[in-house]
Structure 1
Amino acid sequence: MKTVELTKGTNYLNRECTWINFNERVLHEAVVAANPLLEKLNFIAISASNLDEFFMIRIAGIKHLIESGVAHVDIAGMTPLEQFAAIAAMVHAQTARQYAYLEKVSAELEREGVYFAKIGDLTPQERQCLQGYIEDILPVLKPIYADDEKSFPFLPALGLNLVFLVRRRNRGDVRAAVVSIPPETVKRLIPVGSENGRVKFVFVEDAIRTYAAGLFEKREVLECAVFRITRDADLDINDEAEDLLREVEKSLKKRRKGAAVRLEIEKKASRTLCRFLKKALRLHDDDIYMLPGPIDLTAFFAVTSLAGYEHLHYPPFVPQPVRELLPYKGQSLWQIIGSRDIMLHHPYESFDAVDNFICAAAADEQVISIKQTLYRVSRSSVIIDALTAAAKAGKQVIVLMEVKARFDEENNITMARRLEQAGCRVIYGVTGLKTHSKITLVARREGDGIRHYMHLATGNYNGKTARIYTDVGIFTSDSLMGTDGEAFFDLLLGKTHTFAGKKLGAAPFDLRQRIYAAIDEEIVWAKTGKKGHIMAKMNSLLDKAVITKLYKASQAGVKVDLIVRGICVLRPGVPGLSENITVHSIVGRFLEHSRLFYFYHNGAEDIFLSSADWMPRNLNDRIELLVPVEYGPHKERIKHILNLNFADNVKTHVMDGNGMYHYVAANTKDKPVDAQLIFRETALNAAKNVCNR
């Protein structure tokens, strides 16, 4: 078949539209019959939270491009105005589906005894309970009068607000007043009754509206509407600032004052109120979302873990011990890792093994240094505790804390200061680059000198997300990797300005070139009539140069199987372009986060794990690592992970050449294969088998 030109815009999809399609797959879980009801509600809340971030960052960025007037087209050849129009149409439609699904799930929850009630449906006792709560919070609700856009108050991003039209009794002057609901002191969902297996919640804004007379003693309320503003939250940080922490803190304050990019308001609001808010916030019609239900669906996170309704949740799953460590019970980690590499598969296997590794290093008198990169850490972190203890014990502790990790900046600043106070040396990255790699390097004094022990992974050092994100890591004492690890930290410390690892690849230095070389080798084998096969699992695929390589591989006859959870601008299965490429996406109980790459290489089977997706930012503007997996059993395990993900026909969506996704479970009569469920069962069985020995 004749091949087609590779670089045309029509051979690629728009990034933002493919992200909206990803969020559609998340939202779709709310109508999957097999999912428990409160988990369905959770997926609705997740999809809403995802949209919040999308507007704060991506829509804000497109608006900047439009306002700048710069002639710019994206990878698919679309101008900013064309992108915005396509996005607005898709998001308005998706938002309508969110509320349709919410109505369906709410009705099902009522049959289970969980109610989101209207005030008129409350019993006298429940109304009395609600009135008591409202009387307690009325003193913190202060109306702010705004007669025009100039006097309109600044309202925080994503906060819940009510706008009233009021007038003095017996007089004709009508004024607008805004009441902002402080989330720190006011519950969004108020429990008003719990008996006979039933629990009832009322939205606080409905209660405030009902008892609004207490806010406007001398005025009559003519109309009230609930609304919410989303603001530009992209940070503009000067990497060359002398004090990066202060620079980030300054930018965080600006984030709270960013320009409005979206207005969500009740559908029943009058045109008068909508026009008033639109003008005050300097928005356009496409920026306004008239919603038929409660504003801010992330509010439902508060009830998705409701106690007493365990049958409406996923069956409990406790991450199991790392199966490769189980046979070595009683031996020290140093003995185990010193004899062979150990692989970890989260969340099926517990992140405690990583915590224990760092705690052991902190407590071991033979350990002389611990070096680690931290991108996102939990607020109560065993790792931070261990590192501070190690520093206080006199060990050298060097931590790269990425204070530019989006939406984790404040927590990371707090953790960085805590580490510094304990005596750790904290560094904040390389100028102009985010550090996204996942590496811990421990130097230990042993009989034959200093030996290095490492943890390398696809996921963050965050014990909380490690329970819900799928990731892969390895422990190793490989001497060449240890040497590479020291060279890598020399780079982060500014001792060198480049990196050329013997085994490890690093962006932005040679990681891209290593990917190119691996794809090119498959092309060479395929052109000589040999089998060519690439399997790759990642979060996002956006880099045009890498995609062009994959198109060339497809045209050469290489089979390319991709598992891409989120953004994917490659078009699979297009004749003459990509007919040998497939794209799958799995959305399930756990968030697919691991980056795993397989190249057949005429039977040599080169396999890598990485912190990097195939996106320009990861390959060009971040410090990332590519880690070869060399231990035979681990290569087999990763092949099994990839193959089982491709075999999944329960949680998989398959992409077509137009960028649309098709839910496999709706179209198959084959035996169900749920990869995440099988991995859970594998971990449970491994732990059980060791216990029974």
Structure 2
Amino acid sequence: MTNETIFMNRELSWLKFNERVLEEAESEKNPLCERLTFASIYQSNLDEFFMVRVGSLIDQMIVSKNVKDNKTGMTAKEQIQAILARVAKLNRRKDTVYENLMDEVAQAGIRLVDFRKIGKKEGKYLEQYFDAEIAPLISPIVVGKRQPFPFLKNKGIYAVVVLEKKNGKEKLGIIPCNSGVFPRLVQVPAEEETYMLAEELILHFISKVFKGYFVKAKSLIRVTRNADIDADALYDEDLDYRDFMEGIIKKRKRLLPVRVEFSRELDGDIVDKICEYLDLDGKYVFRGSSPLDLSFVFQIQDSLRNHPELFYEKRVPQKSTQIDSKRSILEQIKEKDKLLSYPYESIRPFLDMLSEAANDDEVVSIKMTLYRVAKQSKVVEALIDAAENGKDVLVLVELKARFDEENNIEWSRRLEEAGCTVIYGLDGYKVHSKLCLITKKTNGKIEYYTQIGTGNYNEKTARLYTDLSLMTYDQEIGEEAAAIFQALFMGETVQVSKKLLVAPNCLQNRLLDMIEEEICHAKRGEEAYIGVKMNSLTDKKLMDKLIEASQAGVEIELIVRGICCLIPGVEGYTENIRVISIVGRFLEHSRIYIFGKEERQKIYIASADWMTRNTVHRVEVAAPVEDPDLKLRLNEMFITMLSDNVQARELKSNGKYTRLQPGEEAPLNSQEFFYESAYEALESQEKNKTILQ
């Protein structure tokens, strides 16, 4: 048995996840406008994958040709070759999906056209529009001795043209097409609502810009740049960390390209010349027929808002039936633990908890970790209010949260200006935990109220991502949370914890211990069970232990939305492991760990996936859910997700995902089920209140 039979390469597994996103764009079960969203997500996901993962592999290949993936033994070069081949196939499929979607958009009354699909009258209007609205604002460049090849911005769209002078000499001309000074979608006067992309308009009339030249060939191009930059390795302790991270953001924008996309076929020697200018190997060149950036589809969606059937049914996060909005939220948490399930339930009780704490005379401090927050953050506003009310507010803002650095830098300034104490994470570790600690002093006694979550403190994503938020008065958990914050503010990590599982020192080892415990039960002939929901599974130590558990007869059920490097159902190794992935309307983001069943069952919710980056290289927190009602609820949620036969795919022993279909059972979309349940629970509670009145 080889590793290739039991394990899947991380990067290729991620591409399978993005393929599942593309399948949602293909699926006619989804409304048209939502399929457009999935197509755009597929593309933006792939952009980030090249910027981060392919960028990292290229760096690795330069540093050492001998470094191999610890699961499949593939070198960086072999991984890149496999990635490029797979992406080429997926992109051809994306082009077909896009073409079909735009045909349906046209049937809905909106046309996106090029010059092959318009008449003379429309063409004349567009030429006049180009002359008046675009030509004065563009900045053409002819590459030559006095004008070097320009810097092409990451993900920017450029028109590239091969120009010939009368003497036969060729030059390259370049025009930036999405500088933001003119709209991307240009409306064309017609009976139906009709648009053309500005870059197509520029490309068509490009000969009017480069007068005195003959246009031999032209194409739109888009460059993706490496964004994998190790901030810790570059940090100089003499620098202010916030200023340093602002420099890192600027540096990242100028890293080397890792991909270039063309919208048209150009002669090989021209493509080679452009790659030479970009210092990019030709194997990273992609050609496609769909637009180079699909973000414009959201504007098309806005034009179709009067067609509700083209969108998902509107859903609003519901009030939690666990909480009485007329009473003190802190008092209710003191009486009984609360568990919120986003987006089905509203984030409001958590915001109310922060607001109440900010104005409670007995609250002495609020401590919190922030990883990704909304641009207009009510969470941060509550912390600012608390500081202005004289509370001791200590906030760890993780400035290394990739692609959110600028937003976090801005909020850190606002927090400091309000009087909060702000630190920026640890050397060598990202702080990814979702932890909030409110400390009260009542009649001389210290009381802790702790919130532990699986997702970011972000009101926007709380409506789009599935996450869990536990609010507890458990004083042992509060004391451990206080120890975590004390360590963080000393620039350290906790070495020991009892109730909480805390990476990097007390999470992976505790998980291994709990898996071993299930192995021992199985070997004694007792019922043994492991159930885990997470975003990704790549940690080799944990996977090896799961294989050992499967071989011992432990029943293992995994719900892994994205990367899964462990292949289930392989006889003699993983035949007792089942893996499903749910990709649907909401991004599955919650993490749940279940060990054992019945009276000895342990359940945790966590910020950590089972990835080495989470278990070893980040500060993460998993919290036990001990309230019997909440344990029952999590069990029921887990079983419901395992029973999903609409949005779930099952990973088979051949490494392929198969969409589950309703058999004799009724169709079950777990996300829709949870929303319906939230609506029904609130409706039932309101009815009971009316009856009692």
Q: Tell me whether the two structures share a fold, i.e. TM-score over 0.5.
A: yes
Tell me, yes or no, if structure 1 residue 212 matches structure 2 residue 206. yes
Which residue is 2:666 aligned to? Answer: 671
Tell me, yes or no, if structure 1 residue 84 matches structure 2 residue 80. yes
- TM-score, normalised on structure 1? 0.95
Letter in 2 for 1:37: L
Q: CA 1:636–1:399 in structure 2 vs 1: closer, same or farther (change >3 Å)?
A: same
Letter in 2 for 1:265: F
Which residue is 2:39 aligned to? Answer: 44
Cα distance, 1:418 vs structure 2: 1.1
What pairs up with 1:430-509 in 2 under 5 angstroms?
430-447=426-443, 449-494=445-490, 497-509=493-505
What pairs up with 1:31-430 in 2 under 5 angstroms?
31-74=26-69, 75-122=71-118, 126-127=122-123, 130-131=126-127, 133-134=129-130, 135-147=132-144, 151-168=148-165, 170-193=166-189, 198-238=192-232, 241-242=237-238, 243-306=240-303, 307-325=305-323, 328-430=324-426
Letter in 1 for 2:375: R
Cα distance, 1:149 vs structure 2: 13
Range 142-151 or range 475-484, more displaced = 142-151
5+ residue gaps, structure 1? none
Q: Aligned-pair RMSD on alpha carbons?
A: 2.0
Q: CA 1:280–1:669 in structure 2 vs 1: closer, same or farther (change >3 Å)?
A: farther
Cα distance, 1:353 vs structure 2: 2.0
Cα distance, 1:189 vs structure 2: 2.1
Tell me, yes or no, if structure 1 residue 15 matches structure 2 residue 10. yes
1:523–1:532 CA contact under 8 A, matched in 2: yes
Q: CA 1:333–1:240 in structure 2 vs 1: closer, same or farther (change >3 Å)?
A: farther
**Matched-pair identity in %:** 37
Range 344-353 or range 290-299, more displaced = 290-299
Letter in 1 for 2:306: G
2:333–2:473 CA contact under 8 A, matched in 1: yes
In 1, Cα distance between the equivalents of 2:484 and 2:98?
A: 49
SS of 2:296's partner is helix
- TM-score, normalised on structure 2? 0.95
Which residue is 2:22 aligned to? Answer: 27
Which residue is 1:527 aligned to? Answer: 523
In 2, Cα distance between the equivalents of 1:664 and 1:486?
A: 45
- Following TM superposition, the consecutive aligned residue runs of length 4 or more in structure 1 with deviations greater than 6 angstroms are none
Cα distance, 1:690 vs structure 2: 2.1
Cα distance, 1:286 vs structure 2: 2.3
1:608–1:627 CA contact under 8 A, matched in 2: yes
In 1, Cα distance between the equivalents of 2:96 and 2:491?
A: 57
Range 359-368 or range 18-27, more displaced = 359-368
Deviations 1:545-601 (A, max 9, x none): 100110011001000000000011101000000000010000000000000011115
Q: CA 1:495–1:587 in structure 2 vs 1: closer, same or farther (change >3 Å)?
A: closer
Range 632-641 or range 361-370, more displaced = 361-370
Cα distance, 1:669 vs structure 2: 5.3
Range 634-643 or range 200-209, more displaced = 200-209
Letter in 2 for 1:502: K
Tell me, yes or no, if structure 1 residue 554 matches structure 2 residue 550. yes
Deviations 1:59-107 (A, max 9, x none): 1111112222341110211111111111111111011111111111111
5+ residue gaps, structure 2? none
SS of 1:119's partner is coil
Q: CA 1:225–1:399 in structure 2 vs 1: closer, same or farther (change >3 Å)?
A: same
Deviations 1:471-518 (A, max 9, x none): 011111111111111111001111765342231120011111211111
Cα distance, 1:212 vs structure 2: 2.3
Deviations 1:381-423 (A, max 9, x none): 0111111121122111100000000111111111111111111
Range 643-652 or range 450-459, more displaced = 450-459
SS of 2:574's partner is coil
In 2, Cα distance between the equivalents of 1:27 and 1:39?
A: 12
Range 334-343 or range 302-311, more displaced = 302-311
2:218–2:264 CA contact under 8 A, matched in 1: no
In 2, Cα distance between the equivalents of 1:561 and 1:20?
A: 22
Tell me, yes or no, if structure 1 residue 606 matches structure 2 residue 605. no
Q: CA 1:79–1:640 in structure 2 vs 1: closer, same or farther (change >3 Å)?
A: same
Which residue is 1:654 aligned to? Answer: 650
Tell me, yes or no, if structure 1 residue 680 matches structure 2 residue 675. yes
Cα distance, 1:455 vs structure 2: 1.3
SS of 1:297's partner is coil
In 2, Cα distance between the equivalents of 1:152 and 1:477?
A: 62
SS of 1:294's partner is coil
SS of 2:231's partner is coil
Range 293-302 or range 526-535, more displaced = 293-302
In 2, Cα distance between the equivalents of 1:566 and 1:296?
A: 23
1:264–1:289 CA contact under 8 A, matched in 2: yes
Letter in 2 for 1:324: Q
